[in-house]
Structure 1
Amino acid sequence: MIQDKIIVIGGGLAGTEAAWQIAQAGIAVILYEMRPVKTSPAHHTEELAELVCSNSFGAQNSDRAAGLLHEELRRLGSIVISTADEQSVPAGGALAVDRAVFSSHLTSTLANHPLIELKRAEITAIPQDQVVVLTTGPLTSPQLASDLQKFTGMEYMSFFDAASPIIVGESIDRDIAFLASRYDKGEAAYLNCPMNQEQYLQFQQELCNAEQAELKDFERENAKFFEGCLPIEELAQRGEDTMRYGPLKPVGLFDSRLGDFRVPENKGKRPYAVVQLRQEDKAGQLWNMVGFQTNLKWGEQKRIFRLIPGLENAEFVRMGVMHRNTFINSPQLLEPSLQFTSKNTVLAAGQLVGTEGYTAAAAGGWLAGTNAARLLLGQEPVTMPETTMMGALFGFISSASPKHFQPMPPNFGIIPQLPTRVKNKRERYGQYRDRSLSDLETWKQSLLKPVVTL
């Protein structure tokens, strides 16, 4: 193979991470991003690593699945997670970022790297006879998607995903909304809009009867939703109390103005339901409606969401949107190294391969970028220890049942069990974390002596 540069297609989180890891290995990389030459139905900017849905990377604590993945990536030198840490905003126990600054910083960092060439152009076919990392995500352009289907011999799988609205902070009534984090964990970083039973039931009925936007190019009856990111109107239609046991649950939220609900005499003051808003930027000028991904028409969003106490005069800077996510049947197509079994010089990562969540996309970018560099250097590609969250995740997507394969977020259910059963969940997750980070350090040391392919 005569090649001095690696090609990365797609400038999302996975592509950004992959390009950075390739450059860190001392290899030149061309990173292709089609925006702004060609837009997508979900993106709003031309920046790399734009966060399309939430601005949260999930739980921060390393005894949580997402938090463990964060920590593994920190120890592996992830540019995405280090930037998220630098650009974080208060979010209780979660790692959330100022999304505009986060993406702008990553774009500038990569564009100014001497080994990274950022090209704004659409790639319509997978380059042959080269090491290529495919990270085009769930909104792969139709031409490239068609070529990928020819390459794999398989149709895409798909589901529908949605993003939440963002509200101007000054338009939120602070006499009603109160600052608190659930169970007082971490800084009080969420604005909480309380509802009584009458307000909640009216809100639920309005959601059930609301007009939804037309799905572009697709018929609604063919739509599948990813269960981890259901539109709020879909939750409302699943039952009267579904939202109260989901994103609107009031448990663990205490309004200090009304007294501590944990005290018996104040128990009756607990809200019937609570809508939470998470800080979107460092200055606290913008707030994201937590769990309010939606496909309602924009006029309906404004009408119904202004029924929420505290949001009567809400100003929306971004309405909720819905788009189709596509992914490949990775168990039939990929190795745990994220190489295609049919052509090992082509690698893939991100939501395209069926991992779910920002951090998982960055993790896939790290492994695909690392292995792409190793291929060009004549070294054996690596797989992650199965006891790590990264290893478990990539092991799952490459070995799950192809017939029932669906996107998978990081979770402890896919990690091998401990030698001795631990009943206490928090303690069990802590032991998973300790084993993972220990095995990761041992694995990292083994990479210092790479095996060269003869």
Structure 2
Amino acid sequence: MKEDPSVIVIGAGLAGSEAAWQIASSGVKVTLFEMRPKKKSPAHHSSQFAELVCSNSFGALSSDRAAGLLQEELRELQSIVIAKADQHAVPAGGALAVDRSQFSKSITHELSSHPLIKIEREECPHLPNADQITILATGPLTSQSLAEDIKEFTGEKECHFFDAASPIITGDSIDFSKAFRASRYDKGDADYVNCPMNKEEYLQFHSELIKAEQAELKDFDKESALFFEGCLPIEQLAKRGIDTMRFGPLKPIGLWDPRWGDVNDKNIRILKRAHAVVQLRQEDKAGKLWNLVGFQTNLKWGEQKRLIRMIPGLSKAEFIRFGVMHRNTFLESPKLIEPSLQFINRKTLFAAGQLTGTEGYAAAIAGGWLAGTNAALLAKGLNTITLPPSTMIGALTNFVSNSQESLRVQNKKNFQPMPANFGLLPELDNRINNKRERYKQYRDRSLGKIKQLKETFITKTSSTKTI
């Protein structure tokens, strides 16, 4: 007699917990592997599921903010993790913050009590067979043995390394009365935004940068705090010498602003070069997100804001992501996974959470919801689903997958994690200049799409899946 279909979920963090619940709620058996407490993680302090390591905040509550919209989408889709976060919320101004202990205990109790969820308190050191539907939700601290197995399966040389990422700011916060568009030596289109510094501005910036306060690395980060020479933190470059940055990421060679220069005695305009130039590279097709080239950093976030706003043209910079530096495991997802979160080369294998390159608690939950939902559908012989890119979940999934939009936008040689932000969403049909009103329109469009999805999904799968 043929056994009922089942799914294996590896990792009981936010993504794995959500995935396991969605699968079981669909009537499909789940085996949930969690290596703690038998094998400890250097970051976790308990054996509870969905333990929050770095913060107790899920970000802004308001649905006209990116994090708040992501939370609201998950509420509409009946996420258990967001429901438990709401249940165990603590006062935090306009943010959703939780009592960490009660939150994790509650999720552990719910999953452990579900009749279709079998808990295995063991490490899963290898990928299961290809005929077994499996979700990888092991997060940024995947065990070494499993990480090696994943590396062999994907063919990627590295998936475990000390990560340093540059800050990302919004395009509409750049002051183009000081910044200008150009590519070095005018080769190709003017693809970069350039922020020129004169000598006095550069020396002041350098002086403040080498004195700036760095974030303290966690113990498990200190063990592997070795950096590639081509990816040194900007503050480390600055400490190597007064001109080191000018011969590195801030080199001014080949960049001229037509507004600069003098007229010689033959009435010919002679262009001058800046003492140093900070370049920004476009992160998205619409030009709403810009990455500071070569500015990977371990400075405290307040220091990053202060210093970057010293750069000409960036005095009012609005940050989508601050620079971060930590030991990390994540996949080169755009090469490997589809928008359904299935691996291209193995449809029975899914990835979810921070392992895919999304950043933030709510984003991890969203990946768990989609991977869990699709794994359950696959187990029942039904088609998997994707979410529209006009939703925050769909936009994040597109960013980390091999969707055509993602492939056009991203530099695959330097794929970096991304948090939820409105810059990932497609433009509205009618341009709205007021940012607050524009974000509200994004919200309304997104939640409308989520409700349409629920209606369609319920109609097609009413006998097998309830949202």
TM superposition score normalised by structure 2: 0.66
Q: In structure 2, what is the Cα distance between the partners aligned to 1:212 and 1:345?
A: 35
Give the 3 Å change call, closer, same or farther, for CA 436–205 of structure 1 in structure 2.
same
1:395 paired to 2:395: no
347, 352, 361: which one aligns with 1:349: 352
- Alpha-carbon RMSD: 3.4
| Aligned: 1:132 with 2:134 | yes
In structure 1, the partner of 2:41 is 40
Q: 1:103 to 1:434 in 2, by over 3 A?
A: same
What's 1:422 paired with? Answer: 432
Query: In structure 1, how many angstroms separate the alpha carbons of the residues matched to 2:333 and 2:145?
Result: 20
Tell me: CA distance 1:54–1:424, structure 2 relative to 1, closer, same or farther (3 Å). same
CA contact (8 A) 1:57 1:66 kept: yes
Question: Does 388-397 or 363-372 show the bigger shift?
Answer: 388-397
1:205, CA displacement in angstroms? 5.1
Q: Is the 8 A contact 1:231 1:292 kept in 2?
A: no
Contact 1:60–1:66 (Cα < 8 Å) also in 2: yes
Deviation, structure 1 residue 207 = 3.7
Distance 1:233 1:436, change over 3 A: closer
User: What is the one-letter code of the residue matched to 1:411?
Assistant: N
2:286 corresponding residue in structure 1: none
Q: For residue 229 of structure 1, report the CA deviation from its aligned partner.
A: 11
Classify the secondary structure of the residue corresponding to 1:444. helix
Q: Which amino acid letter does the alignment assign opposite residue 135 of structure 1?
A: A
Question: Cα deviations across residues 1-21 of structure 1 (Å, max 9, x unaligned)?
Answer: 965321000010000000000
Partner of 1:439: 449
Q: CA deviation at 1:32?
A: 0.3
Aligned to 1:216: 223
Q: Secondary structure at the match of 1:447?
A: helix
Output aligned runs, 1:403-414, within 5 Å.
403-414=413-424
Contact in 2 for aligned 1:161/1:325 (Cα 8 Å): no
Q: Of 356, 359, 370, which residue of structure 2 is paired with 1:367?
A: 370
Q: CA 1:421–1:62 in structure 2 vs 1: closer, same or farther (change >3 Å)?
A: same
* Shift in CA distance, 293/405, structure 1 to aligned 2, threshold 3 Å: closer
User: Separation in 1 of the partners of 2:217 and 2:373?
Assistant: 47
Distance 1:229 1:46 in 2: 33
SS at match of 2:114: coil
Q: CA-to-partner distance for each residue in 1:403-434, whole Å, 9 max, x for gaps?
A: 23210111111111000100000000000000
Question: Deviations 1:309-358 (Å, cap 9, x if unpaired)?
Answer: xxxxxxxxxxxxx8511100110100000000000010010000000000
For 1:427, give the aligned amino acid: E
Alignment partner, residue 144 of structure 1:
146
Q: What pairs up with 1:74-223 in 2 under 5 angstroms?
A: 74-128=75-129, 129-157=131-159, 158-160=161-163, 207=213, 215-220=222-227
Match in the other structure for 2:336:
333
Q: Deviations over 1:199-240 (max 9, x none)?
A: xx99x958469999782145255677899996455865x69x
Structure 1 CA distance for aligned equivalents of residues 371 and 226 of structure 2: 35
Q: Distance in 2 between matches of 1:155 and 1:415?
A: 32
Structure 1: runs of 5 or more not aligned:
163-200, 246-250, 252-290, 295-321
| Paired positions, count | 341
Q: Residues 404, 205 of structure 1: CA spacing in aligned structure 2 closer, same or farther, 3 A cutoff? A: closer
The amino acid across from 1:80 in the alignment is V
Task: State the one-letter code of the partner of 2:425.
Answer: I
- Note the C-alpha offset of 1:100: 1.1
SS of 1:421's equivalent? coil
Aligned to 2:25: 24
Change (3 A) 1:119 1:441: same
Q: Which amino acid aligns with 2:137?
A: T
Letter of the 1:242 counterpart? L
The one-letter code sitting in structure 2 at the alignment partner of 1:12 is G
Q: Aligned residue for 2:57?
A: 56
d(CA) in 2 for partners of 1:15 and 1:405? Answer: 23
Q: Secondary structure at the match of 1:102?
A: helix
Runs of 4+ in 1 over 6 A off after TM superposition: 208-214, 222-230, 291-294
- The answer (yes or no) to whether the contact 1:138–1:351 under 8 Å persists in 2 is yes
**1:380 aligned partner:** 383
**8 Å CA contact retained: 1:34, 1:121:** yes
What's 1:283 paired with?
none
CA distance, structure 2, for counterparts of residue 210 and residue 79 of structure 1: 33
Are residues 11 and 404 of structure 1, via their aligned partners in 2, closer, same or farther at CA, if it must alter by over 3 Å? same
1:160–1:224 contact (8 Å) kept in structure 2 = no
